Structure formats: C-alpha cells, structure tokens
Structure 1
Amino acid sequence: MSIVSNKYTGKAALLALITITGMGLSGQVLASTDKHKITLALESGDRTSASGQSVQMLAELVKKNSNGRIDINIFYQGELGGQQEMFDQLVRGNIDMMLTWPQTSYDERLAVNYIPYLTLGWEDALKAYSDNGWLKNILAEVYDDMHLHYFGPYPEGFGGIATKGKYATNFEAAQGINVRSQPVFPLPQTMTAMGFQATPVDWSEVYTAIQTGVVDGDSSNVIYYDYEYFRDQIQYYVHSKHNFSSYALLMSGDTWEKLDKEDQDIISKAAEQVIEKKFGDARAEDEKWIAAAKAAGIQYIEPTPAEMQAWVKRVREQVWPEAEKMLGKGLMDKLRANASNPE
C-alpha cells in the first residue's frame, strides 16, 4: 500500500509526494552550473615572478576544480594601474581579486602589516602570519570590516635597502642617502628613523627614479624585486630586515557574496594550496635570489648584530609611538606582547 495514498488524497497527496521526494534528495548536493569570469590583479611581479607563477597556479586549480566554469583572468604589474588605483578598484568591486600590499587609505589599522621590526626572524614571522597566527587574525578582522574577503598572507621575506654609489648599515652612515619608499605608513617614517631620506615613489616609476638620480635606491623590498628590475642600476643590498614583506590575497566582498557555497569552496581551497606552498617555499626562494644577486655583482651586506640592535631600538622608539596614535593603545599592546625580542 502506498504511504501517500494511505494518508492523503488529491492535491494534498501530490504535495506530500513532492515533499517526500525532496527530502530523499536533501542529502545530495547539486553541482553548481554558474559560470564566472574573475579579474585578478597583481600589484607587482610579471608572469615569470614567484607571485606571477602563484596566481597562475591558483587560476589553473580553480579552472580544473570547477570544470572550466570559473575562469580567472590575470593582469600583471602595471597593466591595470598603480598600487593605490588598483586597490581603490578592488574596494569598489571593479577588480574581483588582488594580490597586494594593502593601502592604509581605507583603514589605518592595515598599518599593522608594515610595523617595522615587529618580527626579527623567519620562525617568528611565519608563525605570526600562518593559519590562526596572531597577526593573521588581527588583519582578517580589518579586511572583514572593509568588505574584503581575506584568503591569507603571501609571505616573501625580509626587506632591505638597495642602493648605488653608497650604502649604510647604521644611522650615521645613512645620512644623505635618499631612497624610494612605498607610500604607505609607516614605511617612509621607518626609513627616516633609520637615518635615510625617504621619497615615496609608485612602483611603476622606481626604475626611472633611480636611473635619473631622483633617489639613490629602493627600500623595503625583498631582494628579488631589486635584483630582477633594478640590477643594472644598483650596486648594494643591505639586508636591514626592518619589515617582513607579506602580500595579501583578497577578493571583493561583493564578488565573494555573488558566488554560491560550492564555488566559494573551490576558490578558497585553491587559495589555501597556493598560500601553503608559498609558506613552504618563501625562505628558500629568498635565499635563491640572494645568491642570484651576488652572482650578478650586487654586494649583499648584512649589518652586524650590534648595528641591527641599534636600528631596532631607534625605530621602535621613534616609529612605534607614532603607530600607536593611529592604531590605538589596545592594538599596539597586542603587537608589543607578541613582537620578537632583540637578541
């Protein structure tokens, strides 16, 4: 005897049958059929760079796991504009994804990503930025408030100072050396505290600025960028390690919310694979480019422990109080509690 006919008749029976059939299928997940074309912009790095190869890996994983439904169209450095311009478009939803050094113009708390001498070694840095790391969790809250979906950090290594004609490993020697700085607080302030003259220059204009003598060099980048793009202009790379270079892989909140759960998971899992690989490769990748720079004739210089301690002390005393005015005492107290201790 039919269960439906035993209890229901007519339209009621038909409704019950539809309901029961739906319940029988409720445990099955219907595959998404939506097609998406996603724009991903790379702030710096061409298609052959480590970051360029990483986003290519991301696009390939997403395309494969979505059976070709989700296509990520990559634009490399400079193709869609400068740093601030592209970040503006990401926030507005005109660019869907971006691998970027976030601009503090929308939320001053993003300066957390650039606080100088916050971590002093690879182990501390990777721990801070890793999944559930104390620094990653702080940043995730800020991005959420900005309506940006944060997949995670893209660690590169510790920055330094690349120059031609002269170099410095201490405050006194840095007097009179003019270096390009990213126009993001507190990186110019950090250079000033270290003794250099800091001139904010957009990435697309750095080569010309060094070539024409507007600046004596570049600062705060891992050695790869100075070797790859300026090696015919620079002679020295001082590994001051004043900042840990970590990009952020972000998606516009509007774009994220348009995706169904299945497609969100596809992109998230691909991003996790890319980020996990970068965490594993970051230190070796940095050492690889240090060796390449040396082979190209660039003098690689590490300050002595005493010089490093002097720079750390001076920068923390001068820049961290300025950062506290922007970030607030509560947030700076968290940073101080977790920051690396100088040896």
Structure 2
Amino acid sequence: MKVLKTLATALLATAALTTASLACELTLKSSDTHPDGYPTVEAVKHMGKLLNERTNGRICVEVFHSAQLGQEKDTIEQTKFGVIDLNRVSMGPFNNLVEETKVVSLPFVFKGVDHMNRVMDGPIGEEILAAFEPHGFVGLAFFDGGARSFYNRVKPITKVEDLAGMKVRVMQSDIFVDMMSALGANATPMPYGEVYSAIQTGVIDGAENNWPSFESSGHFEVAGYYTLNEHLIVPEVLVMSKASWDKLSAEDQAAVRQAAKDSVPVMRELWQAREKVSEEKVRAAGVEIITDIDKEPFMAAMDTVYEKHVTSDKLKDLVARIRATD
C-alpha cells in the first residue's frame, strides 16, 4: 500500500508539468527534498537547460523540489520503478542498498570538503557511481553536501560527553545510527521533513546537518546551539532510474551523463555562496556557534563504527585509497 501511495503521489505531480516541458518529446521528472533555489535544485535545473540545448529541445527536465514527490526513502523506491526519472538523494538512505556508499558516509573519512571533491571526481568516484547500476539506478554525478555538524535545543556541545543521552535525529542509515550510539547519544532515524516539529515539541533534542540545510529547513529557529565539529562530509548523488535510462538511445544516454557532469561545477559555486549566506543568517538569528572543540575524541570514538561497517576487503580497500588520496 505504501508503494502504491507513493506511486500515486508521483503520478499526480506529473499533471503539474509546465507548458514548456510539454513541448518536449521527452520530459524527465526529477525529485529533490530541498526547497526551490537550493544549490542541488538549481544544479539539476542547469543540467536540464544543457540537456535541452544539446538535444535541440527534444529532452526537458522538470524538477520537483521541496519533497513534492515524497521524502528520500519513498522517492528512491519510485525511481527504481521508473516513475521518477532523476533523483538527487543524500548518500545515507542508499547505505543499506549500495554497499560502496557506506565508505563515503563514514565519519571523518575525508580530510575536508576539497579532499572529498578530489576523491569523488576521480576513479574512486566513478567506481562508486557504477555500483548503483545492479540495484536499478544509474549513478550520474556527485554534488557537494558540505560538512555536517551537530545542533540542538538543549545546550552547547563541546565534548563527546555532552552528547550522552541526547535524542538526535539521523538519516535512515545504520552507519548514522551507530555513529550516534558510539558517541553515547540516542539515535532517532526520521524523515527530514519531520525534524522541525520534532525538535520544537521535544520529541528529539537535535539533529546534524550542514549550514544551508540547518538554515533553509528553519531548524535554526528551534535549535539554538550549533557545534562545528564537522563529523561527516558526505557527498550527495544524482541518480537516474535504470528503467528510464534503458529507454534512451546511446546518444541521449551520453548527453544525459555529460549534462549531469557539467552541472557539478555550477552546483559547487552555488553551494559555496549559499553556505556563506546561510551562516550569516544563522548567526544573525542569535544561534550560539560552538567552535572551540577538540575533534580527536570524536574521531577516536568512531573505531567501533569502522569495525562494524568496513568488513569486506573491497570496502577496506576503498577506505585505504580514499585516505591515500592527496
């Protein structure tokens, strides 16, 4: 019933296609949980513009932002069935489906955002994109998800012990749950769209995310403490339904893949600008920003997470190669 419901939602949304997209021979429906104007949303719009130009107007991309087609877990199902053609998704919800995504979702696996981009732009990134195909998806490109840090409504977090017993929302991923358990907190997986009210009503104490998401979601309005510990630097992924992909000619497949790749620099430029704007807005709202923090104890606490999730030789090799990338 849940699948039928989400499929019905997508079919209803299809009726909202614009007049411009109806003029195309093929309109690809793309989903994003973020609001209109968000860097990932604008990047996929840019991809659509490039694709339309390069196919002489034959192919359009219609971006359904603000979770119009559902939360990420639901849209992944719809994408696999081919009801949604393109989907910008956080890496966490894919962890239990595409094994290779676990590695780039590990806490502190990247040295920084620039390091993450170098890794994902290279052969390791291509290897991970290829790993989506056996599961019904075609990996097209990686977007910048920034550095994720903790925020809450209760108190400043300056050390690991401050997290003890706190109820913290995480994405629906075993790695994220185990990360919080290793830090002594009570992990609470829930959809992104439910976090604001959950913090506001005290169902949870806080969550973790990057500057733009903390700001655009309005979470800063109900969580007055933001700790810049940057425990996760997780890329986001743009995937296409394998069912939709297989309907394209080889020429159109190449056009889609190249347009997606060419949207990445645009996304990163928008992201950097948005981070600055979001930080300024959050600081102006009076949120207490905690920067005096020793990351080493946080990193040391992750040993059990790595031991549990990096078990195969393939994943151990990926971790080693990521850490060896300059």
Measured against the shorter chain, the TM-score band is: 0.7 to 0.9
In structure 1, what is the equivalent of residue 120 of structure 2?
Answer: 129
1:333 is aligned to: 317
Under a length normalisation based on structure 1, what TM-score does the superposition of the two structures give?
0.81
Structure 1: give runs of 5+ residues left out of the alignment: 1-33
Contact 1:45 1:77 in 2 (8 A): yes
SS at match of 1:159: strand
Q: Deviations over 1:136-187 (max 9, x none)?
A: 1331231122232111101121101111121312211111321111111201
Q: Partner letter of residue 149 of structure 1? A: V
Q: In 2, are the aligned partners of 1:235 and 1:297 still within 8 Å (CA)?
A: yes
Q: Which has the larger radius of gyration?
A: 1
Shifted more, 168-177 versus 330-339: the winner is: 330-339
Partners in 2 of 1:288 and 1:237 — Cα distance?
Answer: 16
What are the within-5 Å matches in structure 2 for residues 270-285 of structure 1? Answer: 270-285=259-274
Matched, 1:113 2:104: yes
* Counterpart for residue 36 of structure 1: 26
* Conserved 8 A contact 1:163-1:235: yes
Distance 1:281 1:48 in 2: 10
Percent identity, please: 21
The question of 1:147 aligning with 2:131 is answered no
Cα deviation digits, residues 165-215 of structure 1 (max 9, x gap): 213122111113211111112011112222322111111211111111001
* Alignment of 1:181 onto 2:165: no
| AA in 2 matched with 1:223 | W
Distance 1:340 1:309 in 2: 20
Instruction: Classify the secondary structure of the residue corresponding to 1:64.
Output: helix
Q: How many residues end up aligned between the 2 structures?
A: 299
**Within the alignment, does 1:313 sit opposite 2:304 as a pair?**
no
Relative distance call for 1:241 and 1:177 in structure 2 (3 A) is same
> What letter matches 1:129 in structure 2?
M
Structure 1: which amino acid aligns with 2:56?
N
| Residue of structure 2 equivalent to 1:28 | none
RMSD: 2.1
Taking structure 1 as reference, are residues 334 and 108 closer, same or farther at Cα in structure 2, changes over 3 Å only?
A: closer
Query: Does the Cα contact within 8 Å between 2:181 and 2:187 map onto a contact in 1?
Result: yes
Report the equivalent of 1:323.
309
d(CA) in 1 for partners of 2:322, 2:288: 33
2: CA distance between counterparts of 1:167 and 1:133? Answer: 40
Q: Take 1:214 and 1:59, find their aligned partners in 2: how far apart are those partners? A: 40
Q: Distance in 1 between matches of 2:259 and 2:126?
A: 20
CA distance in 2, matches of 1:228, 1:175: 28
Change (3 A) 1:110 1:279: same
AA partner of residue 26 (structure 2)? H
The residue number in structure 2 matching 1:223 is 211
Which residue identity is paired with 1:249? L
Kept after mapping to 1: 8 A contact 2:95/2:101 = yes
2:83 pairs with 1:83: no
Q: Provide TM-score, normalisation by structure 2.
A: 0.85
1:241-252 matched pairs, under 5 angstroms = 241-252=230-241
Q: Which runs of 5+ in 2 are unaligned?
A: 1-23
Distance change in 2, residues 1:329/1:262 (3 Å): closer
1:303 to 1:181, Cα distance in 2 relative to 1, 3 A: farther
